[in-house]
Amino acid sequence: MRDLVAGMRYLGKGQRWVAGHGRWWGFGLIPALITLVLYGAVLTVLALWSGDIAAWATPFADDWGSPWQGLVRGVFVALLFAGALMLSVLTFTAVTLVIGDPFYESLSEQVEKSEGHCPDGPDRPMWQEIWIALRDSVHVLLRAAVFGILLFALGFVPFIGQTVIPVIAFCVNGFFLAVELTSVAMQRRDIPVRERLRLLRGRKALAVGFGTPIVLLFLIPFVAVVLMPGAVAGATLLVRDLVAGEEDEAPDAEGDAGRPVAGGPYGQPAPYGQPAPQGQPAPYGQPVPQGQPAPYGQPKPYGRPAPEQPAPGGFGPPPGPYPPRQGH
């Protein structure tokens, strides 16, 4: 639950950042406006031809009488348009990020600089960066399409299809939208797409809390254009904390086995036959450094005197043995 709320907060942080940097907000609107015009034209064509598409897809209802034919085809048109809207929400972000890769890369860099440090990106030409962004977007969209087809089929199940499945669909779309939006900052760190998915799967609630509100808001006309720069800024802030958290947890995951032992390479004991460093007990059977007691139960090395130890109280060396009694 904490991650779910934290994801929503990142969305608010991103919007506040662009609100305080108006020039960058306007800069980020340009690719979103271009994409909006393209998608508006596609959805308009789909709405005009939806009746013909429904008749082609449901030939079994040609001989049905009223109202069943109209009801079945009406449900098909509604599901088709709902699926198209959901797909447009996902692909809108992907297409906008591909079109606006130079824009959003600059925006994301500025966000990181304002937070104190911007990691250096890989030294690649722009065309290669755009190609990687396009390839990664297709990879994510194919995964999302598999879930979309499954949820679309489950939408025909009575009651569940009209109540539970839409909620699951919004959460699934929110997760994949978060993957798309974080791709700008992830790509700068040269994190491959499979690793990005692994990172966000490990914090599903965080990704869903960030992406699902954006999915719902993107369904409102023109809101996607207005919120897109802030969504990229919020995703950048999310990635900074997510990757930093992974780096902090990595040493802890190794446990005691990953702790270094003085005198040898990381996580390994000192080589056999060499004395342990000052302040560390020597492994059993190895020489003890000068001034250190041997561990309990460990014999002193053969042929070597025991190191001189101070007497109790700290006043010089201990007294010699009591002289033997001489005969009269």
**Listed residue (202, 225, 224, 206) closest to 215, CA to CA:** 224
Report the predicted TM-score, pTM, of the whole model to 2 decimal places.
0.62
pLDDT (tens digit per residue) in 95-112: 888 888 888 888 999 999
pLDDT band at 14 (very low <50, low <70, confident <90, very high): very high
Q: Round to whole Å and give the CA distance between 70 and 233.
A: 46
Q: Round to whole Å and give the CA distance between 192 and 183.
A: 9
Q: Round to whole Å and give the CA distance between 307 and 255.
A: 36
Residue with tokens 């007990």, as numbered in its chain: 281
CA angle 14, 5, 239 (to 5 degrees): 45
pLDDT band at 320 (very low <50, low <70, confident <90, very high): low
Q: Round to whole Å and give the CA distance between 281 and 284.
A: 9
Mean pLDDT calculated for residue range 257-269: 40
Residue 294 has pLDDT above 70, yes or no: no
pLDDT (tens digit per residue) in 22-33: 889 988 899 989
Give the pLDDT of residue 234. 94
Question: How many residues in total does the chain contain?
Answer: 328
Residue 39 has pLDDT above 70, yes or no: yes
Give the pLDDT of residue 297. 46
**Listed residue (233, 96, 85) closest to 170, CA to CA:** 85
**Whole-number average pLDDT of the chain:** 76
Give the pLDDT of residue 144. 87
Give the pLDDT of residue 265. 38
Domain ranges for the chain, please list them.
2-39+75-246
pLDDT (tens digit per residue) in 187-231: 888 899 899 999 999 899 999 999 999 988 887 878 888 998 999
User: What six digits make up the tokens of 273?
Assistant: 């036959």
